[in-house]
């Protein structure tokens, strides 16, 4: 295979091979934009290197050929003493992993060529600054030397010179610094800093390859669900310099505001600076708009290029650029990350501009973003003290205790504490802490700083660049403008949508998007809501194209009504056990304790009218839409007191010689019903088969409720569902009994009830014998919670807290199978059961009511296997509607 592509040979569709950066540099080159010449080494070369520890043998020659071509194009050789060609060696994977992998700039500088560069640029300071940066980056990333050593040396030289920033250092200071850096390298790496430019380049390429498997990168991939086997490409690009004086600089730009979606000029610019300076938030940047007064020509050219890119990519693009002595160069572009709100707005704006159609708009947003928009926000009327304001970098309302380092953030969050990570600026080493925190607050850096970019990617609340707050990580405190301090452990609240920082806990209120779904706010009522208007439109597109219907898991009229407002098309799961809580628990207790038939019948008789009332209310709330009522599922012991507590009570009473008759009976019952493995015990259909009258009471309550609703001109559409069935025989017995009861009620009321009877498929045996089960079932609802539990043999109540973290860390799975359906295992059973069920009964209705019904990725799977509906909790209904549409589009 071909391992190296000139920028002119690639295009944006080659991201798998050239990484996002390489592919987009190629695309820009071919668009005729000013991109410094260069070439890209493929991800395939990286994969070979990672697998075998060796670069593919052909790589060296290919690189030599491309380097030779680059040298002849540029008219100078890499590291040529009197006029060196310098290159950057940058990582770039298919998916953007900001700051997670390595980059080395200024490759080609050496003791020999630094003078040549100085002469060519007419600027000695610049040449030595570039050289010290090379040694620093190379030392840290290629030779694995602690980066702080370089930082400390730099700080010392600055202190000696009383220089506030590195710009104030002169050539002689930088020469001294280079000397110190070289010693740090020699001491730390046991070798001299390599003077051979090609050796520098080859080592840097290998280091970039290896950085794919660095801890930071691995953690980031797990977090973002990026596969671990992709590898990174490496782009080698001729250097242009933003640090050649005041007419040079480097910046980052967005074609639209990544927070609001508004079109305009957004970005940061830093004069006389190189590469990572802007993103690292080291010096404070100026707004991009100010570039106009600094360098009008470059500014205008940049605006033109940004328009070209938007029209070409048909989306928000972000850009890195450098101006070298008044000449503009594009160093990177990509379709930019954005906040959830901006994603919705931009999608509809692009439709209005005629750039994309509705189907494409649906692909520009996703359910996770919609879920984010449904989070509560801070109450604007709260009277909590505001102590500062930074840049609204990533929206959300976060409250937690102040911590000043990642280690504490992780430690405290493990013990259940909510924390806000406060740093002067973050760097990739803070990633663990950022994940652990509720939100991130920095005192430096702009919208494109590391903290902002990473937080946005994770959907985490972030306020950055709150400059009036002085962060002292050593003393673990933050000092406000007036001199007051916030200590570690104090509660702070940060608003990632406004940038406001508060001392204390700010109460939260529902999001406007939820208010909209609730019907308390109308699209376009006022400007609050561009966002709501955008959501409204996208949901309308979604409902037009989706095939899957969306139902709710709801057990009471209140939830049912909310679900309806959120767009539910019925109830897919009413768990009747939820109707036996509170005061009614005692009635169930009586049922369990019943010694005689008549005692049992009495207990059931007492429950019947209560159940019936529940159902009448539910059918009324969901009038005209299907409601699947599931008969009692959990083991009965769940309705009895805790065995230990009860034993203690009985023992105490005995010691006082005052035994309580009822407690004694209860304890006997608890012992009788005690199971080692209740999840695999007396529950679901098994209960119905061994507790006479239980299921028939529930069926009667449903049937009578339907009859009552019909009598008052309602339109009840009840479906009766039997849980935990493993064989068709179980279902047949329950079904016969149920039909008997239904016809009794029909005879008594004279109504035709049209009740359908179906089953959950939540045991492997049920899935495997779905063809037989479909003979007795009018519908299947996949109970993927229990199915996942039984297919994997994982206890759904225990594993997430016990060994799942280890499994996730080892990469055994990227996400819990209880969260996202395991396509290969559980999913295969579902797919096969769908086929077998439909083969027996073509009109079989099929749905899912496990937690997966509201999980974006799983919804796509259920669409693919041809279910009729998904059912999920009311709050996830909008997400399911949107994802069902994205799956269909
Ligand atoms: C299931 O098992 O997926 C299900 C929906 O039932 P429950 O969660 O009530 O066991
Ligand atoms: Mg279940």
783 is in an annotated binding site: yes
Which range (161-165, 419-423, 548-552) has the least confidence?
A: 161-165
Measured from the Cβ of residue 525, the count of other Cβ atoms closer than 10 Å reads 11
Average pLDDT, the chain: 92
Task: Give residue 282's pLDDT band: very low, low, confident or very high (50, 70, 90).
Answer: low
- At 468, the pLDDT band (50, 70, 90 cuts) reads confident
147 and 128 in a single domain? The answer is: yes
- Residue 380, pLDDT > 90, answer no
Task: Find out whether 578 and 553 touch, Cβ atoms under 8 Å.
Answer: no
Is the pLDDT at 279 greater than 80? The verdict is no
Cα–Cα distance, 23 to 742 (Å, whole number): 66
Q: For position 377, what pLDDT does the model report?
A: 82
Residue nearest to atom 9 of ligand 1 (CA): 575
What number of CA atoms fall less than 13 Å from residue 311's CA on the CB side?
7
Secondary structure of 170-192 as H, E, C letters: CHHHHHHHHHHHHHHHHHHHCCC
Residue 656 lies in a domain: no
47 labeled binding residue: no
Whether residue 254 sits in one domain with residue 209:
no
Residue 791, domain member (yes or no): yes
Residue 657 lies in a domain: no
Same domain membership, residue 117 and residue 181: yes
Residue nearest to atom 1 of ligand 1 (CA): 783
Q: Which pLDDT value is given to residue 448?
A: 63
Among 571, 783, 796, 847, which is best to mutate for testing ligand 1, by the most ligand atoms less than 8 A from CB? 783
Best of 554, 555, 576, 633 for a ligand 1 pocket test (most atoms within 8 Å of beta carbon): 633
pLDDT at 809: 66
Check whether 762 is labelled as a binding-site residue: yes
560 and 452 within one domain? no
- Would you place residue 465 in the very low, low, confident or very high pLDDT band (cuts 50, 70, 90)? confident
Q: Could you confirm whether 450 is annotated as catalytic?
A: yes
Three-state SS string over 28-81 comes to HHHCCCCCCCEEEECHHHHHHHHHHCCCCHHHHHHHHHHHHHHHHHHCCCECCC
Residue among 573, 632, 683, 848 to mutate when testing ligand 1 (max atoms within 8 A of CB)? 573
Q: Which two tokens stand for residue 873?
A: 């909790």
Distance CA 94, CA 228 (A): 11
Q: Which ligand has an atom closest to residue 847 CA?
A: 1
pLDDT digits (tens, 9 = 90+) for 807-856: 776 778 877 898 899 999 999 999 999 999 999 999 999 999 998 999 99
Q: Is the CB of 762 under 6 A from ligand 1?
A: yes
Q: Using 50, 70 and 90 to split pLDDT, how confident is the model at 277? A: low
Are 711 and 858 within one domain? yes
Q: What's 430's domain CATH number? A: 3.50.30.10
Catalytic residue among 46, 66, 317, 450: 450
Work out the pLDDT band at 418, boundaries 50, 70, 90: very high
Q: What's the predicted TM-score (pTM) here?
A: 0.81
**Is 297 inside a domain boundary?**
yes
The per-residue pLDDT for range 534-544, each reduced to its tens digit, is 999 999 999 99
pLDDT tens by residue, 17-64: 999 999 999 999 999 999 999 999 999 999 999 999 999 999 999 999
Res. 524: pLDDT tops 90: no
Q: Is the pLDDT of residue 384 over 60?
A: yes
Residue 785 beta carbon below 6 angstroms from any ligand 1 atom = yes
Q: Are residues 109 and 9 in the same domain?
A: yes
Torsion (CA) 434, 438, 441, 446 in degrees, nearest 10: 70
Phi first, then psi, for residue 286 (nearest 5°) are -105, 160
Give residue 11's domain range.
Answer: 4-238
Q: Please provide the DSSP assignment of 248-314 as one string.
A: -EEEEEEEE-TTT--EEEEEEEEET--TTHHHHT-S--EEGGGHHHH-HHHHHHHHHHHHHHHHHHT
pLDDT tens, position by position, 211-252: 999 888 887 887 677 888 999 999 999 999 998 888 999 999
- 760 CA → ligand 1 middle, Å: 9
Please tell me whether residues 348 and 401 are part of one structural domain: no
Atom nearest to 553 CA in ligand 1? 5
Classified as helix, coil or strand, 6 is: strand
Residue 263 pLDDT grade (very low, low, confident, very high; cuts 50, 70, 90): confident
The predicted pLDDT at position 18 comes to 97
* CATH number of the structural domain spanning residue 554: 3.20.20.60
Instruction: Find the CATH number of the domain harbouring 138.
Output: 3.30.1490.20
Please identify which residue in the block is written with the tokens 């490409």.
Answer: 233
Compute the average pLDDT of residues 363-373.
Answer: 92
Mean pLDDT calculated for residue range 268-291: 77
Q: Are residues 363 and 382 in the same domain?
A: no
* Mean predicted confidence (pLDDT) in 655-671: 88
Give the distance from CA 53 to its chain's centroid.
Answer: 32
Does the residue 661 lie in any domain?
A: no
Q: Tell me whether residue 659 is in a domain.
A: no
Rounded to whole angstroms, what are the CA distances from 507 to 38, 245, 401, 796? 53, 49, 15, 33
Q: Residue 460 pLDDT more than 90?
A: no
Ligand 1 atom 6: residue of nearest CA:
783
Give me the number of domains the chain comprises. 5
Q: Within this chain, do residues 786 and 874 fall inside the same structural domain, yes or no?
A: yes
706 and 593 in a common domain: yes
For the chain, percent of residues with pLDDT exceeding 70: 97
Distance 783 CA to ligand 1 centre (A): 5
pLDDT digits (tens, 9 = 90+) for 686-707: 999 999 999 999 999 999 999 9
Model confidence band, residue 642 (pLDDT cutoffs 50, 70, 90): confident
Asked, for residue 641, whether it belongs to a domain, the answer is no
Tell how far the Cα of 761 is from the centroid of ligand 2, in angstroms.
Answer: 9
Would you say the CB of residue 575 lies under 6 angstroms from ligand 1? yes
In our burial notation (b when 16+ CB lie closer than 10 A, e otherwise), range 136-162 reads: bbbbbbbbebeeebbeebbeebbeeee
Predicted local distance difference test score (pLDDT) of residue 805? 67
Continuous segment of H or E residues that includes residue 788: helix 784-792
Q: Establish if 640 belongs to a structural domain.
A: no
Q: Is the CB of 268 under 6 A from ligand 1?
A: no
pLDDT at 382: 82
pLDDT in tens, 505-521: 999 888 889 999 998 87
Catalytic residue among 237, 574, 849, 872: 849
pLDDT of 155 reads: 92
Residue 785 annotated as binding? Answer: yes
Report the separation in Å between the CA atom of 656 and the middle of ligand 2, taken as the mean of its atom positions.
43
Ligand 1 near 47 CB (within 6 A): no
pLDDT digits (tens, 9 = 90+) for 74-83: 999 999 999 9
Last residue of a domain, one of 335, 358, 391: 335
Per-residue pLDDT averaged across 412-432, rounded? Answer: 90
Say yes or no: CB of residue 633 within 6 Å of ligand 1: yes
Same domain, 449 and 516: no
Answer with the one of 238, 268, 283 that is the final residue of a domain.
238
For ligand 1, say whether the CB of 783 is within 6 Å of any of its atoms: yes
Closest approach atom of ligand 1 to CA 789 = 2
Assign 623 to helix, strand or coil. coil
Whether 183 lines ligand 1, by a CB cut-off of 6 Å, is: no
Distance CA 210, CA 234 (A): 11
CA distances from 601 to 590, 609, 632, 662, 683 (A): 10, 13, 17, 19, 20
Ligand 1 binding pocket includes 631 (Cβ within 6 Å): no
137 and 17 within one domain: yes
Read off the pLDDT of each residue in 491-514 and give the average, rounded to a whole number. 90
Please write the tens of the pLDDT for every residue from 673-686: 888 888 899 999 99
């Amino acid at each position: 295979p071909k391992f190296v592509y000139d920028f002119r040979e690639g295009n944006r569709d080659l991201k798998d091979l050239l990484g996002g950066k390489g592919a987009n540099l190629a695309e820009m080159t071919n668009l005729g934009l000013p991109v410094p010449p260069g070439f890209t080494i493929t991800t395939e070369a990286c994969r070979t290197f990672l697998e075998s520890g060796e670069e593919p043998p052909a790589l060296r020659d290919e690189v030599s050929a491309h380097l030779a071509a680059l040298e002849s194009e540029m008219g100078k050789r890499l590291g040529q003493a009197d006029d060196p060609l310098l290159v950057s060696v940058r990582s770039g994977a298919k998916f953007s992993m900001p700051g997670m992998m390595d980059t080395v700039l200024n490759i080609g500088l050496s003791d020999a060529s630094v003078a040549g560069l100085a002469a060519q640029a007419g600027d000695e300071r610049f040449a030595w600054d570039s050289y010290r940066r090379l040694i620093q980056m190379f030392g840290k990333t290629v030779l694995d030397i602690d980066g702080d050593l370089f930082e400390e040396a730099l700080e010392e030289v600055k202190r000696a010179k009383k220089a506030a920033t590195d710009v104030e250092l002169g050539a002689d200071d930088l020469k001294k610094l280079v000397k110190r850096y070289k010693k740090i390298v020699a001491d730390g790496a046991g070798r001299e800093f390599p003077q051979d430019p090609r050796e520098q380049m080859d080592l840097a390429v290998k280091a970039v390859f290896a950085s794919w498997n660095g801890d930071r990168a691995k953690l980031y991939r797990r977090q973002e669900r990026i596969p671990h086997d992709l590898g990174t490409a490496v782009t080698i690009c001729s250097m242009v310099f933003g640090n050649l004086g005041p007419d040079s600089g480097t910046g980052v730009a967005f074609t639209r505001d990544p927070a609001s979606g508004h079109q305009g000029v957004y970005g940061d610019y830093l004069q006389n600076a190189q590469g990572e300076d802007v993103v690292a938030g080291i010096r404070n940047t100026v707004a991009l708009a100010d570039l106009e007064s600094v360098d009008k020509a470059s500014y205008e050219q940049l605006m033109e290029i940004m328009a070209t890119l938007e029209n070409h990519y048909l989306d928000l693009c972000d850009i890195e650029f450098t101006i070298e002595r008044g000449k503009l160069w594009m160093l990177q572009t990509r379709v930019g990350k954005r906040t959830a709100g901006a994603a919705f707005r931009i999608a509809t704006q692009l439709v209005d501009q005629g750039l994309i159609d509705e189907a494409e708009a649906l692909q520009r947003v996703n359910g996770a973003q919609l879920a984010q928009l449904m989070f509560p926000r801070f109450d604007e009327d709260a009277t909590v003290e505001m102590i500062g304001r930074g840049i609204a970098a990533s929206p959300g309302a976060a409250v937690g205790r102040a911590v000043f380092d990642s280690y504490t953030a992780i430690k405290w969050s493990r013990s259940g504490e909510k924390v806000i990570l406060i740093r002067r600026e973050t760097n990739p080493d803070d990633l663990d802490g950022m994940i652990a925190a509720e939100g991130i607050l920095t005192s430096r850096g702009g919208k494109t700083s590391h903290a902002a970019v990473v937080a946005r990617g994770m959907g985490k609340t972030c306020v950055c660049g709150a400059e009036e707050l002085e962060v002292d990580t050593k003393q673990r405190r933050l000092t406000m403008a007036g001199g007051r301090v916030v200590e570690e452990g104090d509660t702070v609240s940060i608003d990632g949508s406004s940038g406001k920082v508060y001392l204390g806990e700010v109460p939260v209120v529902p999001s406007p998007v939820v208010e909209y779904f609730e019907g308390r706010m109308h699209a376009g009522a006022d400007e609050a809501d561009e966002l709501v208007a955008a959501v409204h439109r996208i949901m309308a597109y979604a409902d037009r194209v989706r095939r899957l219907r969306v139902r709710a898991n709801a057990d009471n009229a209140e939830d049912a009504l909310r679900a309806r407002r959120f767009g539910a098309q019925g109830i897919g799961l009413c768990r009747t056990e939820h109707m036996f809580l509170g005061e009614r628990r005692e009635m169930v207790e009586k049922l369990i304790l019943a010694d005689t038939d008549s005692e049992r019948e009495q207990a059931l008789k007492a429950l019947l009218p209560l159940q019936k009332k529940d159902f009448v209310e539910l059918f009324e709330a969901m009038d005209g839409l299907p409601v699947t009522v599931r008969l009692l599922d959990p083991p009965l012991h769940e309705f009895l007191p805790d065995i230990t507590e009860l034993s203690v009570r009985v023992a105490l009473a005995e010691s006082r010689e005052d035994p309580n008759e009822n407690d004694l009976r209860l304890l006997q019952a608890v012992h009788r019903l005690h199971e080692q493995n209740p999840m695999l015990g007396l529950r679901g259909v098994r209960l119905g088969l061994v507790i006479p009258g239980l299921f028939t009471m529930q069926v009667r309550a449903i049937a009578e409720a339907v009859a009552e609703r019909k009598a008052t001109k309602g339109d009840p559409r009840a479906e009766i569902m039997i849980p935990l069935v493993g064989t068709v025989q179980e279902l047949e017995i329950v079904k016969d009994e149920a039909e008997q009861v239904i016809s009794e009620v029909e005879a008594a009321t004279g109504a035709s009830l049209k009740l359908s009877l179906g089953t959950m498929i939540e045991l492997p045996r049920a899935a495997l014998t779905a063809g037989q089960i479909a003979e007795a079932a009018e519908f299947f609802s996949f109970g993927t919670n229990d199915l996942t539990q039984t297919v994997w043999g994982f206890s759904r109540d225990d594993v997430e807290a016990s060994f799942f973290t280890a499994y996730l860390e080892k990469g055994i799975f990227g996400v819990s199978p209880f969260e996202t359906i395991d396509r290969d295992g559980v999913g295969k059973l579902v797919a096969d059961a769908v086929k077998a069920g439909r083969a027996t009964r073509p009109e079989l209705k099929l749905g899912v009511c496990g937690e997966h019904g509201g999980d974006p990725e799983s919804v796509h799977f259920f669409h693919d296997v041809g279910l009729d509906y998904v059912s999920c909790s009311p709050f996830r209904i909008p997400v399911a509607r949107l994802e069902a549409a994205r799956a269909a589009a």
